[in-house]
Amino acid sequence: MAHPEMALQIASLKKLDALVERRTKHEPLAFIRGKTEFYGREFIINQDVLEPRPESETMIDLLKTLLQHKTPHSKVQPWNIVDVGTGSGALAITAKLELPGSEVTATDIDPKCLVVAQKNAKKHEVDIKFLQGNLLEPVFALCTQTSALLCNLPYIPDNYKINQAAAMEPRQAIFGGPDGLDLYRQIFDQLNRGSVRTQFVLTESLPTQHLVLEDIAKKVGFKLQKSEDFIQVFRLEG
């Protein structure tokens, strides 16, 4: 319709029909196209990763507000940001691009996710350290202090009914236990008993989960600083 002067060839029509057939089965458009947009940039996407949502862009906005106008804890040491459960790498890569000079590390328990994330890092020509492992465990031996953790972890309760398109995305990237917050309990527990100390923790969850998540964070010394839409910012007290 946008180009009425163009006549579609039989080969193109067959290809289009095959793509339409996939969409009629509720396959996400990002999987069909092999790409999606996040924070104004294009990212490679496939069935191994969760498609980044517009709600997560708020996490980048808040991160920039926290760090852009502050001096790093050392004049010779840049901001050290860790993206926990990176998936496609969209948050880690965007953080690196929006905060030039920062050091960004990204972790994921699924090696297939890291393959996609590394492809996206190469596409956007950024240097990010990718580590496989459970939440913060891979960075315990690498650093003792970070500026901020980006935690867009699975937060949908196990019995929550999702739409057919979302059901085609990796289940482990969506569901987070009976109340959806199991992985957030794990990461705050890791912060409490591990060797990594951080100034800020940014989380994404349903607004109805925010009070419970605030309580989880408070028990290990993190105080809610700000909430905006799905995102909460916690700051280490003291």
Q: Where are the domains of the chain?
A: 47-236
- HSE at residue 139, side-chain half, CA atoms within 13 A, is 27
In this prediction, the residues of the chain whose per-residue pLDDT falls under 50 are 74, 76
Nearest by Cα to 45 from 108, 119, 109:
119
How high is the pLDDT of residue 229? 96
The arrangement of secondary structure in 47-236, i.e. its CATH architecture, is 3-Layer(aba) Sandwich (3.40)
| Tokens at 64, concatenated | 């920039």
CA distances from 95 to 68, 70, 82, 203, 221 (A): 11, 16, 10, 15, 25
* Angle made by CA atoms 75, 79, 84, in degrees to the nearest 5: 160
Q: Is the pTM of this model over 0.75?
A: yes
Locus of tokens 């030039």: 100
How high is the pLDDT of residue 124? 98
How high is the pLDDT of residue 74? 47
How high is the pLDDT of residue 27? 75
Locus of tokens 């909430």: 227
Report d(CA 63, CA 50) in Å as an integer.
Answer: 21
